[in-house]
Chains A and B, each alone.
Chain A
Amino acid sequence: MSRRAAQGVVGLLILAAALAWVRWGRTPAGPTAETRFLMDTLVTVTLWGAPGPAAEGALAAAFGALAAVDEELARVPGTFLWELNQTGSGPLTPAAAAVLEASLGWARASSGAFDPTVAPLLDLWDVPAGPHPPPHPDRLARAVAAGGWHRVRPGANGGVDLGGAELDFGGIAKGYALDRAAEALRARGVVDYLVNAGGDLVVAGAKGGAPWRVGIQHPREPGAFLRVVTPLAGALVTSGDYERAYEWEGERVHHLLDPRTGRPARGCQSVTVWAPTAIDADALATAVFVLGPAEGLRLVAAEPGAEALVVDADGRLHETPGFGRVAPAAKAR
């Protein structure tokens, strides 16, 4: 073989070797993600790191954690919560005990704006069924009177006594589930993740060199964002009147009920809360939405570590002073 030919062949061999080394010598980090239907919404778990069986295993663990909470605490026939509501009292599973304790704590702190005993009210409004006439005011008043978080007491032999009320954890269970999923990921050594359960999310680390970018949905313009932020590790939960909502005779009907009046809360269009844990962010977002911008932001200010961004009923933005620190606006790309 001539020298030139030999050079050409050697060059190709070096190229092939270099490519092979890049291919197998080191595994480039990248995103691994999966989306499933869970908790009656679309859940996407995204990790950043070396792809492969370890990443897939971590994803499976995260989804497993979410599913476990959903199977216990969703208010559908067959779950633990459903049975508890039927019997009215009884022992609590660890997850139910944790969520109930947090719920009652937030009910106290928010003076009843957050209240886990709203199940009968939610059934009366039945927002998922689509547009229909609102429930009669008398029925609403009776449901409000029959409920109330103060009725829930410790049970005779441990456990709980609902005192005639019925529990729904819709305003807090997703947060609890997200915290469990994040725990499962961290237990597997994942430090860069974003778990998005239908718009409520926990985030940690970053995507390679760049931070996670989260768009906060504009409550009145479907394609637009209020702001794009790069949140610190923690949870970002948004409550808004635009999901699962419809108009009936000029009034917007949505699922964020004011437990004190029994009607959809009217003080805000959307509330976004950042907190170190998702269970707190979830409950706070629900409470602030019901309380309205003034009282709601006061509640957030009283909670160390929590920050909020509120869009009031007229579309004006209010935020706690620290919101820009925990969820800074993303630099334009």
Chain B
Amino acid sequence: MRSPADSRRLAELGLWIALAAALQAAETLVATPVPWFRLGLGNALVLVALHRGGARDGAWVALGKVFLGGLLAGRLFGPGFLLSLVGAAAAVVVMGLALRGSPPLGFVGLSVLGATAHALAQVALASTLLLQSPALWSLAPFLVLLALATGCVTGLVAHRIAAALEARPP
């Protein structure tokens, strides 16, 4: 028998996955300096899930956003899908580890780490699998700067959501 708290948690997870998937699908619209690279805006919701529910919740949201988002955008199993999968996996692992590490980072720091891991993982995959050359690494600094910007924004968003949720009565 599921407790009300569990049901609420499941509903929350579902909501984060849906939102993250929508963002994931929608950001295929946004142009980036190099084709197929994604901004990873959905990471805000991965971070919220990690913070509130722990590693497993975070992993669910990360996988959910990649698969559901890919399905929504009609781009399952193409190079863009592979890139977003690798990026999301790297982000959730790094953020999950940083959550338990020290010194304790705020939401912005966590999100920035996640976005950077997301970007670097994509460059690594692209330069080994897609283009078979180390030459793509020269784009890495630009992508990291981009990741810093999106990481700050998604960190603040994730903080607002998490703070608002914690303020509600239990």
Name A residues whose Cβ lies closer than 8 Å to a Cβ of B.
Answer: 1-2, 4-5, 7-9, 12-13, 15-17, 19-20, 22-23
Tell me whether A20 and B167 are in contact in the complex, defined as CB-CB below 8 angstroms, given that A8-B160, A8-B161, A9-B15 are known contacts: no
Q: Provide the bound-state CA to CA distance between A19 and B73, in Å.
A: 12
In the bound assembly, the distance between CA atoms of A57 and B101 in angstroms comes to 55
Could you tell me the distance in whole angstroms from the C-beta of A26 to the nearest C-beta in chain B?
11
The answer for the CA separation of A326 and B109 in the assembled complex, in Å, is 58
| Any A CB within 8 A of the CB of B110 | no
A8 to B19, CA, bound (A): 12
B168 touches A20 (CB 8 A): no
A20 to B15, CA, bound (A): 17
| B126 proximal to A (CB < 8 A) | no
A4→B22 contact, CB < 8 A: no
Interface string of B131-151 (1 = CB under 8 A from A): 000000000000000000000
* A13, B45: Cα distance in complex, Å: 12
Contacting A23 at CB < 8 Å: which of B26, B160, B167, B168?
Answer: B26
Are B167 and A4 interface neighbours, CB within 8 A?
yes
How many B residues have CB within 8 A of the partner chain?
18
Q: Is the beta-carbon distance between A5 and B23 smaller than 8 angstroms? A: no
Is B29 part of the binding interface, using a Cβ–Cβ cutoff of 8 Å? yes
Q: Which of B26, B164, B169 contacts A20 (CB 8 A)?
A: B26
CB distance from A199 to the nearest CB of B (A): 27
Q: Are A23 and B164 in contact (CB under 8 A)?
A: no
**Residue in A closest to B19 when the chains form the complex, CB atoms:** A12
- Residues in chain B within 8 A of chain A (CB atoms): 15, 19, 22-23, 25-29, 73, 157, 160-161, 164-165, 167-169
A4 to B169, CA, bound (A): 12
Complex Cα gap A324–B23 (Å): 50
Residue of A nearest to B167 (CB): A2
**Pairwise interchain contact A1-B23, C-beta atoms closer than 8 A:** no
Say how far B165's CB is from chain A's closest CB, in angstroms: 5
Chain A contacts of B26 at CB under 8 A? 16, 19-20, 22-23
With a cutoff of 8 Å between Cβ atoms, the chain A residues found around residue B25 in the complex are 20, 23
Q: Which residues of A contact B165 (CB under 8 A)?
A: 1-2, 5
Interface of B is mostly: helix
Q: Which of B19, B29, B157, B167 contacts A5 (CB 8 A)?
A: B167
Known contacts A2-B167, A2-B168, A23-B25; can you find 17 more A-B pairs with CB under 8 A? A2-B169, A4-B167, A5-B161, A5-B164, A5-B168, A8-B161, A9-B15, A9-B19, A12-B157, A17-B22, A19-B23, A19-B26, A19-B27, A22-B26, A23-B26, A23-B29, A23-B73
Measured CA separation A68–B150 after assembly (Å)? 50
Within 8 Å CB of A4, what residues of B? 164, 167
A144 to B15: give the CA distance in the assembly, Å.
83
**CA of A5 to CA of B52 in the docked complex: distance in angstroms?**
14
Given known A9-B15, A16-B19, A16-B23, contact A22–B29 (CB-CB < 8 A): yes
A1 to B157, CA, bound (A): 17
**CB neighbours of A7 from chain B (8 A):** 164
Q: Which residues of A contact B73 (CB under 8 A)?
A: 23
- Looking at B23, B25, B157, B164, the one whose CB has the most chain A CB atoms below 10 A away is B164
Across-interface contacts of A5 in B (CB, < 8 A): 161, 164-165, 167-168
CB distance from A303 to the nearest CB of B (A): 45
What residues of chain B lie closer than 8 Å to A22, measured between beta carbons? 26, 29
Chain B residues within 8 Å of A1, by CB? 165, 168
In angstroms, Cα B161 to Cα A1, docked, is 11
Complex contacts, B164 vs chain A, CB 8 Å: 2, 4-5, 7-8
The distance in angstroms between the C-alpha atoms of A4 and B162, with both chains bound, is: 11
With A8-B161, A23-B29: A16-B167 Cβ-Cβ less than 8 Å: no
Report the bound CA distance from A126 to B128 in whole Å.
45
- Shortest B70–chain A CB gap in Å is 14
Chain B residue nearest in CB terms to A1: B168
Known contacts A2-B168, A5-B167; A20 and B22 CB within 8 A of each other: yes
Question: Roughly how many angstroms separate A2 CA and B161 CA in the complex, as a whole number?
Answer: 11
Complex CA gap A113/B57 in Å reads 79
13 pairs, CB–CB < 8 Å, chain A vs chain B: A1-B165, A2-B169, A5-B161, A9-B15, A16-B22, A16-B23, A19-B22, A19-B29, A20-B22, A20-B25, A22-B26, A23-B25, A23-B73
